[in-house]
């Protein structure tokens, strides 16, 4: 686990039990004494662990009663969802459902930003965008592309567009999505379901459109939207493979009706 501490490791294990339903909402977490005994810790450390779970948003502390488990799926905010997603990797179906929701949200924000920026009076120096894309291309052409860094650059590019458009709420949501994805290796890898070179080509094409006088036609915009949607379908399918979710395709093929 590298730099991780006993407090963080045990807190994650207890949080995983909440996320999986092993500890039910409304029930009590194990007491300080029980946590100390199970994980062979002193009580001060066990108290820190339960305090960490409270800071995660997984439990509420009640004086004289203990730590009550929250319904994290129904009540949790973005930070709780982020932790739930990371902890869900051992449960492929749960992880796949959560990732699908994340990708849907990211696709909506990214597509809106790209189309809105294409149709707006663009205020970003194209040279600044090209510098980011040059870095992206250098990584893509390396023998072993650093996918984490590449995805971080692409999120940075989208952040620039959203800032220029004044879409501050969408930028905040995108930042949260980026944090969720970047800390889960399977999610990062899924975003490269297509060649890293294609990521570079798309950004180069977008900048070329933004620098042109005429801009894209409606047919070109429609084609871009279709391709964007197909790409995200590949991302979701790749994630399913990476977490070990079995495809249902070989169960019953689509029936052909006369």
| 254 located within any domain | no
CA distance 180 to 100: 13
Q: Does 33 lie in the same domain as 125? A: no
In the block, tokens 């990062």 appear at 188
DSSP for 152-181, please give it: HHHHHHHHHHHHHHT-HHHHHHHHHHHHHH
Q: What is the CATH number of the domain that holds 97?
A: 1.20.120.530
Res 248: pLDDT: 56
**Which residue in 67, 39, 43 sits closest to 53, CA to CA?**
67
| 221 located within any domain | yes
Count of domains for the chain: 2
Res 254: pLDDT: 39
Q: Is 200 in contact with 136 (CB distance < 8 Å)?
A: yes
Res 64: pLDDT: 85
What range defines the domain where residue 203 resides? 79-243
Res 247: pLDDT: 66
pLDDT in tens, the chain (258 residues): 334 689 999 999 999 999 888 999 999 999 999 999 999 999 999 999 999 999 999 999 998 889 999 999 898 889 999 999 999 998 899 999 999 999 999 999 999 999 999 999 899 999 999 999 999 999 999 999 999 999 999 999 999 999 999 999 999 999 999 999 999 999 999 999 999 999 999 999 999 999 987 778 889 899 999 999 999 999 999 999 999 987 654 434 434 333
**Which residue in 42, 58, 33 sits closest to 7, CA to CA?**
42
How crowded is residue 74: how many other Cβ atoms within 10 Å of its Cβ?
A: 7
CA distance 242 to 142: 23
Estimate the crossing angle of helix 196-211 against helix 147-165, to 10 degrees: 20
Q: Model confidence over 113-136: pLDDT tens digits?
A: 999 999 998 999 999 999 999 999
Res 258: pLDDT: 31
Q: Does 167 lie in the same domain as 239? A: yes
Res 20: pLDDT: 85
CA distance 193 to 86: 20
Q: Does 122 lie in the same domain as 144? A: yes
Q: Which two tokens stand for residue 179?
A: 């944090």
- Could you tell me the CA-to-CA distances from 113 to 19, 159, 167, 181, 231 in Å, in that order? 33, 9, 8, 19, 17
Sign of CA dihedral 96, 101, 104, 110: negative
Res 48: pLDDT: 94
What's the whole-model pTM score?
0.85
| 252 located within any domain | no
Res 24: pLDDT: 93
Q: Does 204 lie in the same domain as 138? A: yes
């Amino acid at each position: 686990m590298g730099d991780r501490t006993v407090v963080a490791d045990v807190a994650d294990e207890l949080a995983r039990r909440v996320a999986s339903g092993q500890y039910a909402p409304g029930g009590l977490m194990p007491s300080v004494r029980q946590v100390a005994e199970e994980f062979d810790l002193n009580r001060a450390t066990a108290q820190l662990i339960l305090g960490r779970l409270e800071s995660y948003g997984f439990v509420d502390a009640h004086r004289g009663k203990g730590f009550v488990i929250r319904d994290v799926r129904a009540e949790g905010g973005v930070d709780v969802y982020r932790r739930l997603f990371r902890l869900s990797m051992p449960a492929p179906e749960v992880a796949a459902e959560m990732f699908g929701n994340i990708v849907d949200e990211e696709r909506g924000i990214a597509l809106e930003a790209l189309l809105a920026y294409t149709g707006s009076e663009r205020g970003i120096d194209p040279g600044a965008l090209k510098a980011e894309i040059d870095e992206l291309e250098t990584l893509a052409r390396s023998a072993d592309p650093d996918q984490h860094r590449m995805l971080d650059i692409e999120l940075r590019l989208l952040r620039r567009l959203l800032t220029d458009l004044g879409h501050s709420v969408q930028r905040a949501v995108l930042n949260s999505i980026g944090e969720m994805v970047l800390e889960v290796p399977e999610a990062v890898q899924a975003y490269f379901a297509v060649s890293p070179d294609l990521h570079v080509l798309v950004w180069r094409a977008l900048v070329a459109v933004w620098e042109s006088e005429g801009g894209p036609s409606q047919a070109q915009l429609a084609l871009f939207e279709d391709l964007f949607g197909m790409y995200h379908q590949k991302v979701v399918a790749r994630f399913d493979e990476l977490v070990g979710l079995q495809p249902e395709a070989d169960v019953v093929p689509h029936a052909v009706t006369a």
